[in-house]
Amino acid sequence: MKDGQCSIGKKPISLFSATILVIANMIGTGVFTTLGFQLAGVHLPFSAILLWVVGGIVSFCGALSYAELGAMMPRSGGEYAYLSKIYHPAIGFLSGSVSILVGFGAPIALAAMALGRYSQMAFHGVNGTAVAGGAIIVLTLVHLADVKWGCHFQNVFTVAKIVLIALFIAAGLWMPFPQRIALPHSLGGLGSVFNPDFAVGLVYVSFAYSGWNASAYIGGEILAPERNIPFSLFFGTLFVSILYVLLNLVFLLTVPAVALTGKIEVGSLSARAIFGAGGAGLMTSLICLVLISTLSSMIMVGPRVAAAMGEDIEALGFLARRNSRGVPARAILIQSSVAILIVMTSAFNFVLTYVGFTLTLFSCMAVLGVFVLRFRKPDLKRPFKTWGYPVVPALYLAVNIWMLCYLVIQRPLPSALCLMTVASLLVLYKWLTNRQCQFSSLQEEKR
């Protein structure tokens, strides 16, 4: 297989293709939509930039931790595969179910909702909700129809959005009269940066960085996974982290922080400042293409978790069934149905917080698994060992647990809803396992 081509079937995925998939999953809705929410809490442009720097460092620590797990357990499914082996199949089931319901379904909805907002700005009179739902349906049909064509579509749009962001950054940094980003007057001023609002802001940033673990979801299909999973996570996360810091720097240099506060369309406002009214319309249209790429990548990757669960749990076997072209069609349809339902019923900010909490919770459990396996099975073969262990995974856990604690205090409703979702899924798992045991007993009696 040539570099740059994806494969969903039996063909191996190269290092280049796996890295492109990580980049495609990371660069999307969050970086163009969350800065306004961050500024509503932290207020200072310096604090906002620091959020993105901290978010990049933390994501990089997570990527290095996942690299060890992925090289040890190169099976498709991500956290579902890891947590099932490290802790218990019930924990893996919870993680996999959350991935199906919100881990991919909600981010797909958020990307579609952002696409609808930007479409309204580019084309007056357009119904944003209709655009969001229509985009999910069209891209679902693309990935249902033919895997190879869908992968070519994905690669082209990913390269295009990288070029778009690079040009946008260059144009923004070329501006002759930028806004001023003041540093704290003293080291004591840094104390006001790290506050509860900063922790909540990290939730938005962590959502924007989510996707750094994308190649872990396709580990079973990557060529030489013990080497290529770690490198794809490393290169993809590092590349996107640099882009994100520069891109948000451009937003803050070109538009006053007050004008961005509380706004979703921060990319469009910055484009208007850089290119004028006409250029802003063009840039908004291009950002729509970026969001289409993000939607496509998540619609493609998400069903792998459901398919892996279907292979392990007999009652969910229908999720593992593929059509004649090797596509897990039922898993894709369920995921897209969840996304459309969220688009039609949920508020952007509420869903964003809910997704951030759930994704962070299970990623922390996976990173904690690095410590668990080092303690329980020190002699287990590790093709890749986390650089800087134990500091790197400990830093990831410390920052994310700190963020979750403040999130429970500052945003209790989405946090409570997340915990209720997990509890409900635990009841479902118990029911499914009891049903499977009863079915097995009946089969034994017949024999």
Q: How far apart are CA 49 and CA 61, in angstroms?
A: 19
Structure token pair of residue 278: 């006409």
175, 173, 204: which is closest to 107 by C-alpha?
A: 204
Q: Which two tokens stand for residue 390?
A: 């134990």
Q: How many CB atoms lie within 10 A of CB 75?
A: 20
pTM for the model stands at 0.79
Closest CA to 64 of 298, 305, 236: 236
What torsion do the CA atoms of 61, 67, 69, 71 make, to the nearest 10 degrees? -170
| DSSP structural state of residue 101 | I
Q: By the 8 A CB rule, do 110 and 352 touch?
A: yes
Bridge partners, residue 218, by sequence: 76
Three-state SS for 400-416 is HHHHHHHHHHHCHHHHH
390 cis-preceded (ω within 30 degrees of 0) = yes
Rounded to the nearest 5°, which phi and psi values hold at 13? Answer: -100, 130
Per-residue confidence (pLDDT) for residue 146, from 0 to 100: 63
- Angle (nearest 5°) at CA 337 between 331 and 339: 105
Q: Residue type for 419, please?
A: L
**Nearest alpha carbon to residue 352 among 342, 364, 367, 344:** 342
Quote the Cα angle for 298-155-268, to 5°: 70
Question: pLDDT 10s per residue in the chain (447 long)?
Answer: 333 444 444 555 788 888 888 898 888 767 877 888 888 878 788 888 988 999 999 999 999 999 999 989 887 778 888 999 999 888 888 888 877 777 788 778 878 888 888 788 777 788 888 999 999 999 888 888 766 666 677 778 788 878 888 888 998 888 877 777 766 554 444 555 566 777 777 877 887 888 888 888 877 778 888 888 899 999 999 999 999 999 999 999 988 888 888 887 788 788 888 888 777 777 777 778 778 888 888 887 778 788 888 887 777 777 777 776 667 788 888 888 888 888 887 655 666 666 667 778 888 999 999 999 999 999 888 999 999 999 999 999 998 888 788 777 777 777 777 778 778 888 888 887 777 676 666 666 665
Give the DSSP H/E element, type plus range, for residue 191. Answer: none
Per-residue confidence (pLDDT) for residue 375, from 0 to 100: 94
Q: What CA–CA distance (Å, rounded) separates 362 from 171?
A: 38
- pLDDT score, position 194: 60
Name the DSSP class of 124.
Answer: T
15-181+189-429 has which CATH code? Answer: 1.20.1740.10
Closest to 273 in 3D by CA, of 338, 179, 367 = 179
